[in-house]
Structure 1
Amino acid sequence: MTDPEDRDDDARLLVRLALGDKAALAVAFDRFAPTVTRYAWAIAPSRMDVEELVQDTLLTLWQKAAAIELPTESLLPWLLVVCRNHARNLRRRQARAESDSLPDDLEAPPAAEEAREHLRWVRAEIDALPTLDRRICELCLLEGRSYSEAATILGLSVGAVTKRVSRSRTRLKKAVMHDEH
């Protein structure tokens, strides 16, 4: 793991990207691709779609770097919004292609709507977690931080973070199983 002092902050990285620095693109990929990939898995149905979303998101970063204004110190929220927008566009293209290939008397199943509703339900369950557990989920799942980083930020041991994540997963899994039956 790199020392935070050795890493460019996101604003400086953005300037380098805007200047066409390909090494900055590699840094951005190394820094953000794991988190964007995890996020894409939450909103895309297949590995191929996830890969496409990650590539499109980072390509958009490369192409629009000069016009991006960061409202916070982090580039990650902007990337996640871009990823979500690419996912919406992908779903629209897929729905159009699917509806074009179906006979007129058949309609596509509402799988995307069901998945969206299920994701809303999971988010509600995460929101219902105790404050500390919810914050751990935010750090590890949404921001892509390691258990070790989350432990340092929250002043906990790695074991405590691991145990809380495990407990939260078990709670969510039970809630999902209860909802499905």
Structure 2
Amino acid sequence: MDTKREDEILLEKATKGDKTAFEQFYQKYKKQIFNYVYRFVNNYALAEEITQETFINAYINLNKYSEKGKPLAWFYTIAGNLCKNAIKSKNIRSEVSLDAPLKDTDGNIGMIDVLENVNDRPEITIRSKELVGKIQEAINSLPIEHKEILLLCDIQGQSYQDVAQILGCKPSTVGSRLHRARRKIANKLAVLYKEKSKKWFKWKDVNLLQKDYPST
């Protein structure tokens, strides 16, 4: 049985009052949703709050669940809407410093530490270690509609079809927005590193950001 079918069964059970099934879904995806939310709002405490609210809202509204075959997409939709509402209501800055303190249960940690514990990745070059942070800064500077597309596709690994369902648009729209988002990031990094050719940046470098954050 594939993962999506397993997830669908869990949500079907949850809609019938099976709290254990919902708890299993929560334990399976809480870090993944937190990862997405944190990169969206750039605030650890707020990301934890939104992640919890995402699952609470989903549980309360299980009777409205209708995304057959796409249960995780439904949670991404809820999380994304909560993120955008939080950004608007709290006037959150889109750009943050790499040295900005982030509070976790063990104390303050820098953003670069959250992005990637690069010291444990000997295959990552010095250039790539620096690039990890710069990519995230560039992502943070994107307009929301481009940022969420890039986070969902390139960081969370969702398909064009799934992202289209999450955002309520056509797959072709996802593709065009993603292309523009990638181009903006490549341009920003090219200027930063004073590179004349835009081809110096290989998009596979964004894979360095594909890491689950710790969540309490």
Q: Give 2:121's aligned residue.
A: none
1:87-125 superposed Cα distances (whole Å, 9 cap, x missing partner): 111122213xxxxxxxxxxxxxx933973338837967x
Q: Give 2:157's aligned residue.
A: 142
1:28-82 superposed Cα distances (whole Å, 9 cap, x missing partner): 1122212211211221111011111211111111111121101x51211111111
Instruction: Give the secondary structure class of the aligned counterpart of 1:85.
Output: helix
Q: Give 2:7's aligned residue.
A: 10
Q: Give 1:115's aligned residue.
A: 141
Highest relative contact order (Cα 8 Å, sep 6+), 1 or 2?
A: 2
| Amino acid in structure 2 at the alignment position of 1:10 | D
- Judged with a 3 Å threshold, the aligned counterparts in structure 2 of structure 1 residues 6 and 59 are, in CA distance, closer, same or farther, namely same
Instruction: Give the Cα separation in 2 of the matches to 1:66 and 1:122.
Output: 27
Q: TM-score, structure 2 length as denominator? A: 0.46
Instruction: Give the Cα separation in 2 of the matches to 1:122 and 1:12.
Output: 28
Answer 1 or 2: which has greater helix percent.
1
Contact 1:17 1:66 in 2 (8 A): no
Residue 83 of structure 2 corresponds to residue 87 of structure 1: yes
Q: TM-score, structure 1 length as denominator? A: 0.54
- Map residues 120-135 of structure 1 onto 2, 5 A cutoff: 120=146
- Judged with a 3 Å threshold, the aligned counterparts in structure 2 of structure 1 residues 140 and 45 are, in CA distance, closer, same or farther, namely closer
- Pairing partner for 1:32 from 20, 29, 33: 29
Contact 1:36 1:80 in 2 (8 A): yes
- Judged with a 3 Å threshold, the aligned counterparts in structure 2 of structure 1 residues 10 and 118 are, in CA distance, closer, same or farther, namely closer
Residue 193 of structure 2 corresponds to residue 178 of structure 1: no
Instruction: Give the Cα separation in 2 of the matches to 1:16 and 1:73.
Output: 14
* Number of residue pairs aligned between Structure 1 and Structure 2: 126
Structure 2: stretches of 5+ with no match in the other structure: 96-139, 159-183, 195-216
Structure 1: stretches of 5+ with no match in the other structure: 96-109, 127-136, 144-171
Instruction: Give the Cα separation in 2 of the matches to 1:6 and 1:121.
Output: 27
Residue 53 of structure 2 corresponds to residue 56 of structure 1: yes
Instruction: Give the Cα separation in 2 of the matches to 1:82 and 1:142.
Output: 18
Instruction: Give the Cα separation in 1 of the matches to 2:157 and 2:77.
Output: 12
Who wins on radius of gyration, i.e. which is larger?
A: 1
Q: Give me the CA root mean square deviation.
A: 3.8
